[in-house]
Amino acid sequence: MSLWFSMLETLKRHDRKSRKRDISMARKRYPLLKAVEHNWGLIGPGDWTKVKWLIFPDGSYEVVTTFNPSFDAIEEIEKMSKPTKKKITGQMDNKTLSKLRKALKREPWRDPPTEGCASDGVAWEIESYLDDGSVDKTSGKLDYIYGHKVLEKIVSLLPSNEGVYDKAEEGSF
């Protein structure tokens, strides 16, 4: 009899843990799209090095820009290796979000190779996600997107708030 009660208690504990995990997973917000722009140009103190966009299924977004330390920060040794970050949040309008969803479904994301190369500018990493957070499509390796119509369209629909590329104030993130 006590063995039966012990097994019953074990099942109840397992059920409570499972329920907590399910609730935790339900609260987790997965993005619809992640796009990261890397600055491959000449970069100096205070310049942006990368911008990351997270677009969520409801149209809300986060944009985090990373900057090199400024001249002032370089003078202080402990701040020298710490980049400054700036975060912007907002809400996309429904029309733009709808266009973005259509662009994400288009194939292929990359067109056949085109002639030409560049050694500066910006490079991109772009991924779209399924509802469970797993990767649906990816732009592949970190690379330029010039000449790839679908990827250029996706990037053109990203929120472009004032100040995304402007220097962050010290301690802004």
Q: What is the 3-state secondary structure (H, E, C) of 92-137?
A: CCHHHHHHHHHHHHCCCCCCCCCCCCCCCCEEEEEEEECCCCCEEE
* Concatenated DSSP letters of 21-67: HHHHHHHPPPPSEEEEEEE-S---TT-EEEEEEEE-TTSEEEEEEEE
Separation of alpha carbons 45 and 167, rounded Å: 10
Give the Cα separation of 54 and 33 in Å (integer): 6
Give ∠ CA 73-79-84 in degrees, rounded to 5.
75
What pTM was estimated for this model as a whole?
0.75
Contact 172, 48 (CB under 8 A): no
Q: pLDDT in tens for each of the 173 residues of the chain?
A: 555 556 556 656 666 655 555 544 456 889 999 999 999 888 888 889 999 999 999 999 999 999 988 766 555 655 556 788 899 999 999 999 999 999 999 998 887 766 556 556 899 999 999 999 999 999 988 888 888 899 999 999 999 877 788 875 554 54
Whole-number Å distance between alpha carbons of 68 and 83: 5
